[in-house]
Amino acid sequence: MKLAIASLFIGLASAWSPANDASSSRREAISKTLAAGAALAYPLVSNAYSVPDLPYPYEALEPYIDTPTMKIHHDKHHATYVANINKAMEGKEEVPILDLMENALDAGPVRNNGGGHYNHAFFWSEMAPPDVAKKTKPSDALAKMIDASFGSMDEMKSQFEAAAAPGAVFGSGWVWVVLNNAGTKLEIVGTPNQDNPLMKGVKDEIKFPILGLDVWEHAYYLKYQNRRPEYVSNWWNVVNWDKVSENFAYVSEKKSGVPVEG
Amino acid sequence: MSGKKVIFDTALRASVNLQSSKLPTELTKSSTALFSALSGVKATLPDLSYDYNALEPAISAQIMELHHTKHHQTYITNLNAAMEKMDSAMMNGDVSAVIALQGALKFNGGGHINHTLFWENLSPNSEYKEGGTLDKALKERFGSKDGFISELTATSLAIQGSGWGWLVYNPKTKMVDIASCPNQDPVEATTGLKPLLGIDMWEHAFYLDYKNVKPDYVKAIWDVINWDTVEARLEAAK
């Protein structure tokens, strides 16, 4: 409580600092301060996780992923997973969503909603608008590992598309490029529903995603309807290979999943 | 394909030869029957007994047409392909290949069965008969028709990912009950329960109309249930 009152004073005082000369920004500063104070005074654990902002506007991935899909996928579907994981984690210790993944199979709500939150946060961060994406490329280290594991980038894409085909992922799920547990090669794996390869028990061993694609119908149905193969082959146009290379460097070094925002 | 034909011809020749021998006619009949049973059994897309727009506003014509001509048709196409491969595998005695095909058969065969049942348990004319066999069974198990609707709604909405919600008949308890199955798993084949009414909870069944708001879809579908079909299925199951 003391902390809340102190932060209120400091925050309110800052509203009148020289930096805030326009009255609207003062209003903003005051309302933000009150909100922060309230949050500190009443530590509602339901604020543990949040939907991270998209790193680009909703329309940025057009024409490969349409604006309405980005809006609904981010603002509704992802938000629902976040609301549900917050409910499931009420009263529990706050940990980064990545830390919930290893033992997610122990509890249904964590598996579905924690998985859903992590997977979508991971997904948004690895994509970029087409004109940006086309200037990105795998790092030397990643390119080498791709060739060693699959023969070539084209071969990897081919295998990925086969794993993402309607018959291969039977219902809802995700397709991933992962680094195996030993860190010796990349593999392509499919997981059902909101499972991911970081969850102990989902695959024969924990594996570390560097790239993933949502093939739930909500991810593509508005634009592609039943034409999932078209969605998948178009998706390469928005993959940010610089981020994927960063992911690869991270998982190779830390032998842990990539942390995500939110 | 041609390999299969050779086997048929051999089988037919054999059965013809058997006919001309002094072996009992039952034996010759059964060998030809066996081989003809494995051939030419192809699933086909059943026609709907109503127009694509007949279930509006609960389900749009756009969804009905896509769902029927694309999704259901794809299950049928892939089922037929899997069954052809199964024929070859069985005729070659290739147990490993037979086992490897199980996933595709369950998925595509289940998809065909489930959607066929689905079209039949929907109708623009949705009339519920008070006091009939179905009504009595629902009241016995759920207390009321609304109690049943509540429970099947909740079960359907609780499905994570893709799957179906079902009203079923349990031949062991001799009562109706609620069940759900993941993906395209067919109820009877995987649980022994007999399907009476199915609700498709795959996103393709509702997304264009309802987006992420599943509850609105399930609420609306109760307006277009073919209760006569559900009752007929219950009577047949008993």
Q: Which residue of A has its CA nearest to B106?
A: A170
- pLDDT at residue B184, as a whole number: 97
- pLDDT at residue A102, as a whole number: 96
Name every chain B residue with its beta carbon within 8 A of the beta carbon of A169: none
Distance (Å) from the alpha carbon of A123 to chain B's nearest alpha carbon: 18
Question: Which strand ranges, in their side-by-side order, compose the sheet holding B194-200?
Answer: B175-182, B163-170, B194-200
Contact B212 A218 (CB under 8 A): yes
Overall average pLDDT of the B63-72 stretch? 98
**pLDDT tens digit string along B176-208?**
999 999 999 999 999 999 999 999 999 999 999
- Is the confidence at residue B152, as pLDDT, over 90? yes
Name every chain A residue with its beta carbon within 8 A of the beta carbon of B161: 171-173, 192-194, 216
B2 in contact with A, Cβ within 8 Å: no
Distance (Å) from the alpha carbon of B69 to chain A's nearest alpha carbon: 11
A·B CB contacts under 8 A: 61
Contact A226 B203 (CB under 8 A): no
- Is the confidence at residue B20, as pLDDT, over 80? no
Q: Which amino acid is at A235?
A: W
B14 in contact with A, Cβ within 8 Å: no
- pLDDT at residue A34, as a whole number: 55
- Token pair 């059965």 in the structure block, residue: B15
Between β-strands B194-200 and B175-182, what pairing exists: parallel, antiparallel or unpaired?
A: unpaired
Q: Supply the mean pLDDT for chain A.
A: 88
Report the share of chain B in percent with pLDDT over 70.
Answer: 83
Collapsing DSSP to helix, strand or coil, B225 comes out as: strand
Distance (Å) from the alpha carbon of A194 to chain B's nearest alpha carbon: 8
Contact A226 B207 (CB under 8 A): no
Cα(A78)–Cα(B215) distance, rounded to whole angstroms? 17
- pLDDT at residue A107, as a whole number: 87
Name every chain B residue with its beta carbon within 8 A of the beta carbon of A192: 161
B165 in contact with A, Cβ within 8 Å: no
User: Where would I find the beta strands (DSSP E) of B39-187?
Assistant: 163-170, 175-182
Overall average pLDDT of the B168-175 stretch? 97
- pLDDT at residue A11, as a whole number: 52
Contact B107 A173 (CB under 8 A): no
- Token pair 């960063």 in the structure block, residue: A246
- pLDDT at residue A156, as a whole number: 98
Report the share of chain A in percent with pLDDT over 70.
Answer: 82
Overall average pLDDT of the A79-100 stretch? 94
Query: Which stretch of DSSP H or E encloses residue A191?
Result: strand A186-192
Distance (Å) from the alpha carbon of A255 to chain B's nearest alpha carbon: 29
Name the nearest CA neighbour of B79 among B35, B113, B46: B113
- pLDDT at residue B205, as a whole number: 98
Give yes or no for a contact between B208 and B179, defined as CB atoms under 8 angstroms apart.
Answer: no
- Is the confidence at residue A168, as pLDDT, over 90? no
- Is the confidence at residue A115, as pLDDT, over 90? yes
Distance (Å) from the alpha carbon of A73 to chain B's nearest alpha carbon: 8
Cα(B235)–Cα(B238) distance, rounded to whole angstroms? 5
pTM: 0.83
- pLDDT at residue A17, as a whole number: 52
Q: Burial code of B100-134, b = ≥16 C-beta within 10 A, e = fewer?
A: ebeebbbbbbbbbbbbbbbbbbbbeebeeeeeeeb
| A28: confidence class by pLDDT, cuts 50, 70, 90 | low
- Is the confidence at residue B1, as pLDDT, over 80? no
Name every chain A residue with its beta carbon within 8 A of the beta carbon of B102: none
Overall average pLDDT of the A138-156 stretch? 98
Cα(A128)–Cα(B158) distance, rounded to whole angstroms? 33
| A166: confidence class by pLDDT, cuts 50, 70, 90 | confident
Give yes or no for a contact between A260 and A122, defined as CB atoms under 8 angstroms apart.
Answer: yes
